[in-house]
Chains A and B, each alone.
Chain A
Amino acid sequence: MTYILIFISAVFVNNIVLSQFLGICPFLGVSKKIETALGMSGAVAFVMTIATLITYIIQKTVLEPFGIGFLQTITFILIIAALVQMVEIILKKVSPALYQALGVFLPLITTNCAILGVAIMVIQKDLSMLESVVFAISTAIGFGLALILFAGIREQLSMVKLPKAMEGTPTALLTAGLLAMAFMGFAGIV
Chain B
Amino acid sequence: MSKVSNVKVLFNGIIKENPVFVLLLGMCPTLGTTSSAINGLSMGLATTFVLVASNVVIALIKNIIPDKVRIPAFIVVIATFVTMVEMAMQAYLPALYESLGLFIPLIVVNCIVLGRAEAYAAKNTVFSSMFDGLGMGLGFSMALTLLGATRELLGTGKVFSLSVFPENYGMLLFVLAPGAFIALGYLIAVFNKLRKA
Contacts and interface: CB of A to CB of B under 8 A. Distances in A.
B187 to A, nearest CB: 8
Nearest to A74: B79
The B interface, classified by DSSP as helix, strand, loop or mixed, is helix
Given A166-B189, A177-B185, A121 B102 contact: yes
B192 A165 contact: yes
B84 to A, nearest CB: 10
Given A173-B182, A177-B182, A184-B176, A71 B24 contact: no
B170 interface: no
Interface in A118-153: 120-121, 124
Contact of B31 (A24, A73, A111, A172): A24
B166 interface: no
B196 A111 contact: no
A10 interface: no
A47 interface: no
A127 B43 CA distance: 28
Interface in B103-124: 105-106, 108-111, 114
A117 B114 contact: no
Interface residues of A, number: 43
Interface in A131-190: 164-166, 169-174, 176-178, 180-181, 183-184
A36 interface: no
A181 to B, nearest CB: 4
Interface stretch (A13-21, A57-65, A90-98): A13-21
Interface in B69-123: 71-72, 75-76, 79-80, 82-83, 86-87, 102, 105-106, 108-111, 114
A169 B80 contact: no
B89 to A, nearest CB: 13
Task: Determine the interface band of chain B, counting residues with CB < 8 A from chain A.
Answer: 35 or more
Contacts of B180: 21, 177
B27 A28 contact: yes
A22 interface: yes
A14 to B, nearest CB: 10
Nearest to B108: A77
A30 B171 CA distance: 32
A19 B102 CA distance: 14
B177 A21 contact: yes
Contact of B32 (A22, A74, A172): A22
A87 interface: no
A73 B102 contact: no
A113 B28 CA distance: 8
A25 B193 CA distance: 23
B178 A170 contact: no
Interface of A: 18-25, 28, 70-74, 77-78, 81-82, 110-113, 116-117, 120-121, 124, 164-166, 169-174, 176-178, 180-181, 183-184
14 contacts: A20-B32, A22-B106, A73-B108, A74-B79, A74-B83, A81-B72, A82-B72, A113-B28, A113-B106, A165-B190, A174-B186, A177-B178, A177-B179, A181-B173
Given A77-B108, A181-B173, 13 more contacts: A18-B177, A23-B28, A25-B28, A73-B83, A81-B71, A81-B72, A111-B109, A116-B108, A174-B186, A177-B180, A180-B177, A180-B181, A184-B177
